[in-house]
C-alpha cells in the first residue's frame, strides 16, 4: 500500500512515511486506500497480536517492514489492553477499554513502541553522523512514552525537551529517569518554546549536517496505525461475545486516538457510533457543529494531555472522511470543562468505585450525556491514562490515595537526571554536540 500527503498526490511507501513523519509539503500522510475486512475473516477469540498482524498486513504490503510485521506487533503489544466492566453501580454498567497498562501508563506507549520497533528495522547504521537523534518536545505523556520505547535501543539517542515547571511531578520523573541513550532537558519556557526549538533544529542546515535528526512526532502515521488495533480487538471481542457492534467514546485532543477508532470502523471492524469527548478546548465539537475551523490558542485544563487548540489530525479526518456534512452523520463530539471533569471523577468513584484520570472523565461524562442507561451495554469508554499519573488532580477530588501500578512505581524508584536549557536553538545545538 502507498501513502500520500493530505496536501499533494505524491505517493510514498510506508517506510518513507514512517521515517519522514511529516510530508515535505507540510501535509500529513494518509493511506491511499483502506482495506475492507469482514468480521468472519478474523478467527474467533484471536488475541491482540493476531488481530494486529491481520489488520496491518495490507498497510505493510510491499514495504521493507513486511516480513518483520509479526515481530513488530509482538514487541508493541507486550502488555494487556483489557475491556473491563465497571459494574458497581446499579443503573449504568460501563465498559472501559483500559489503554494504560504499558510502561508509562498512558496510551502513547502503543504508538511510541510501534514506531521504535519499526524505525529500528529501517535506519541504516553506516551513517557518518552517528546514531539517530530523536528530538521530542513534550507537554507530558509523549516524551516519557518515546523515551521508554527507545531506551537502550542501539543506534538511537533520545533528546526530550520539556517546559520547566509545567509538567506534573510524576510526568517529569518519567521524562528524566532513563539515563543511557536518553537525555532530558528542562527548557526555561513553555511547551511552545520546546516545539519551536525542535522545528528550528529540523530547519537548520548546520544541525542537519552534524546530526541525524528524526522525530517521533504525534502525527507520524506510525503512531496512528497501531492505535486502531485496540479498537479492532475490543470490538471483535465484544462481537464474539454478544453478536453486537461496540460503540466508543474517545477522549481526544489532537484527534490521534479518535481518528484511529474512525479508521478501524472504516476498515469494516464491528464498531458502531463514535463520540469524541474533549475538554474545554473545543475545536472539534465546534467544527462538527459549524463546519468552520479557526486557529485558536490552547486553554490549560485539568486534562492537560488534551489541551490542543488546533488538532492536527483534523486535516487527516477531513481528507479521508469529509466533508463536514458527511462527518456530522457518523460522528459526534462534546466538550467538558474542569468543573465537569471534577464532578465526573468524583461521581464515578462514589457510584462505581472506579477511579479515572481527568482525560477519561471527559469520556465518562460524554457517555452519560449521550447514551441511555439501557443502551450502554454496547458502549465502551476509552481510558487513556492511569489515574495515578494525575494524582495531584484526582486524589483531592476523591479524597483517597490512588494506588500506583507496579510499572510506574518502578520508574519512580529510579533516580532522575536532567539538564536545564535556555529556550533557543543555539543552546540546544551546544548541548547535544
Ligand atoms: C495524548 C493524550 C490524550 C489525547 O490523545 P490525542 O491522540 O491527542 O487525541 C488523551 N489522554 C491522554 C492521557 C494522553 O496522553
Residue-wise pLDDT tens digits, 210-224: 999 888 877 899 999
For position 280, what pLDDT does the model report? 97
Residue 54 Cβ inside 6 Å of ligand 1? The answer reads: no
Asked if the model's pLDDT at residue 141 lies above 90, the reply is: no
Residue 256 Cβ inside 6 Å of ligand 1? The answer reads: yes
Residue 252 Cβ inside 6 Å of ligand 1? The answer reads: yes
For position 92, what pLDDT does the model report? 61
Instruction: Find the range with the poorest average confidence among 8-12, 214-218, 332-336, 342-346.
Output: 214-218
* Secondary structure, 3-state, 209-234: HHCEEEECCCCCHHHHHHHHHHHHHH
Helices (H), 216-335: 221-242, 256-266, 283-290, 314-321, 324-330
Q: Which residue has the higher pLDDT, 349 or 375?
A: 349
Alpha carbon dihedral 208, 118, 96, 358, in 10-degree steps, equals -10
Residue 333 Cβ inside 6 Å of ligand 1? The answer reads: no
Residue 384 Cβ inside 6 Å of ligand 1? The answer reads: yes
Asked if the model's pLDDT at residue 56 lies above 80, the reply is: yes
pLDDT in tens, 147-206: 999 999 999 999 999 999 888 889 899 999 999 999 999 999 888 789 889 888 988 999
Q: Given ligand 1 and candidates 141, 230, 357, which is best to mutate, with the most ligand atoms within 8 Å of its CB?
A: 141
For position 87, what pLDDT does the model report? 61
Between the CA of 356 and the centroid of ligand 1 the distance, in Å, is 14
pLDDT above 90 as % of the chain: 77
User: What is the position in ligand 1's atom list of the atom closest to the CA of 357?
Assistant: 13
Residue 217 Cβ inside 6 Å of ligand 1? The answer reads: no
Please check whether residue 405 is in contact with residue 357, taking contact to mean a CB–CB distance below 8 angstroms.
no
For position 91, what pLDDT does the model report? 60
Residue 102 Cβ inside 6 Å of ligand 1? The answer reads: no
User: What is the position in ligand 1's atom list of the atom closest to the CA of 303?
Assistant: 11
Rg (CA), the chain: 21
Residue closest via CA to ligand 1's atom 1 equals 305
Residue 144 Cβ inside 6 Å of ligand 1? The answer reads: no
Residue 232 Cβ inside 6 Å of ligand 1? The answer reads: no
Cell numbers standing for residue 65: 517492514
Instruction: Find the range with the poorest average confidence among 49-58, 197-206, 382-391.
Output: 197-206
Q: Which residues pair with 184 in a beta bridge?
A: 160
Residue 281 Cβ inside 6 Å of ligand 1? The answer reads: no
Residue closest via CA to ligand 1's atom 2 equals 305
Q: Which residues pair with 2 in a beta bridge?
A: 13
Can you tell me the distance from the alpha carbon of 316 to that of 140, in angstroms, rounded to the nearest whole number?
24
For position 123, what pLDDT does the model report? 87
For position 90, what pLDDT does the model report? 53
Can you tell me the distance from the alpha carbon of 263 to that of 256, in angstroms, rounded to the nearest whole number?
11
Between the CA of 303 and the centroid of ligand 1 the distance, in Å, is 9
User: What is the position in ligand 1's atom list of the atom closest to the CA of 257?
Assistant: 7
Please check whether residue 351 is in contact with residue 383, taking contact to mean a CB–CB distance below 8 angstroms.
no
- Give the DSSP letter of residue 432: H
What mean pLDDT is reported for the chain? 93
pLDDT in tens, 83-105: 998 764 456 678 999 999 999 99
Q: Given ligand 1 and candidates 221, 224, 253, which is best to mutate, with the most ligand atoms within 8 Å of its CB?
A: 253
pLDDT class for 308, splitting at 50, 70, 90? confident
Please check whether residue 119 is in contact with residue 214, taking contact to mean a CB–CB distance below 8 angstroms.
yes
Between the CA of 107 and the centroid of ligand 1 the distance, in Å, is 7
Amino acid at each position: 500500500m502507498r501513502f500520500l500527503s493530505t496536501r499533494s498526490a505524491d505517493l510514498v511507501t510506508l517506510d518513507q512515511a514512517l521515517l519522514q513523519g511529516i510530508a515535505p509539503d507540510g501535509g500529513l500522510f494518509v493511506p491511499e486506500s483502506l482495506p475492507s475486512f469482514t468480521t468472519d475473516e478474523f478467527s474467533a477469540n484471536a488475541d491482540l497480536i493476531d488481530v494486529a498482524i491481520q489488520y496491518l498486513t495490507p498497510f505493510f504490503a510491499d514495504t521493507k517492514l513486511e516480513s518483520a510485521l509479526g515481530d513488530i506487533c509482538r514487541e508493541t503489544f507486550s502488555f494487556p489492553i483489557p475491556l473491563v466492566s465497571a459494574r458497581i453501580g446499579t443503573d449504568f454498567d460501563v465498559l472501559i477499554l483500559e489503554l494504560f497498562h504499558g510502561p508509562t501508563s498512558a496510551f502513547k506507549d502503543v504508538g511510541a513502541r510501534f514506531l521504535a520497533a519499526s524505525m529500528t528495522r529501517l535506519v541504516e547504521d553506516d551513517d557518518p553522523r552517528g546514531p539517530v537523534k530523536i528530538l521530542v518536545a513534550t507537554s507530558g505523556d509523549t516524551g516519557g512514552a518515546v523515551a521508554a520505547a527507545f531506551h537502550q535501543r542501539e543506534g538511537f539517542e533520545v533528546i526530550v525537551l520539556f517546559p520547566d515547571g509545567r509538567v506534573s511531578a510524576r510526568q517529569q520523573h518519567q521524562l528524566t529517569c532513563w539515563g543511557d541513550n536518553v537525555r532530558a532537558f528542562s527548557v526555561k519556557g513553555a511547551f511552545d518554546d520546546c516545539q519551536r526549538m525542535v522545528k528550528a533544529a529540523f530547519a537548520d542546515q548546520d544541525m542537519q549536517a552534524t546530526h541525524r535528526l528524526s522525530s517521533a512526532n504525534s502525527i507520524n502515521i506510525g503512531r496512528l496505525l497501531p492505535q486502531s488495533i485496540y479498537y479492532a480487538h475490543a470490538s471483535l471481542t465484544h462481537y464474539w461475545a454478544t453478536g453486537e457492534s461496540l460503540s466508543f467514546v474517545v477522549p481526544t485532543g489532537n484527534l490521534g486516538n479518535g481518528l484511529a477508532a474512525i479508521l478501524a470502523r472504516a476498515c469494516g471492524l464491528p464498531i458502531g457510533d463514535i463520540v469524541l469527548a474533549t475538554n474545554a478546548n473545543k475545536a472539534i465539537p465546534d467544527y462538527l457543529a459549524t463546519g468552520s475551523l479557526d486557529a485558536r490558542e490552547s486553554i490549560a485544563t485539568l486534562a492537560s494531555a488534551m489541551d490542543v487548540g488546533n488538532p492536527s489530525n483534523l486535516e487527516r479526518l477531513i481528507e479521508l472522511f469529509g466533508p463536514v456534512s458527511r462527518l456530522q452523520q457518523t460522528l459526534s463530539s462534546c466538550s467538558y470543562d474542569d468543573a465537569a471533569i471534577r464532578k465526573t471523577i468524583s461521581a464515578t468513584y462514589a457510584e462505581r468505585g472506579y477511579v479515572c484520570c481527568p482525560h477519561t472523565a471527559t469520556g465518562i461524562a460524554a457517555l452519560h450525556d449521550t447514551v441511555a442507561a439501557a443502551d450502554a451495554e454496547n458502549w465502551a469508554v476509552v481510558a487513556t491514562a492511569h489515574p495515578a499519573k494525575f494524582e495531584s488532580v484526582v486524589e483531592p477530588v476523591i479524597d483517597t490515595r490512588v494506588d500506583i501500578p507496579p510499572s510506574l512505581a518502578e520508574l519512580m524508584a529510579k533516580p532522575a537526571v536532567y539538564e536545564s536549557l535556555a529556550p533557543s536553538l543555539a543552546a540546544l545545538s551546544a548541548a547535544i554536540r
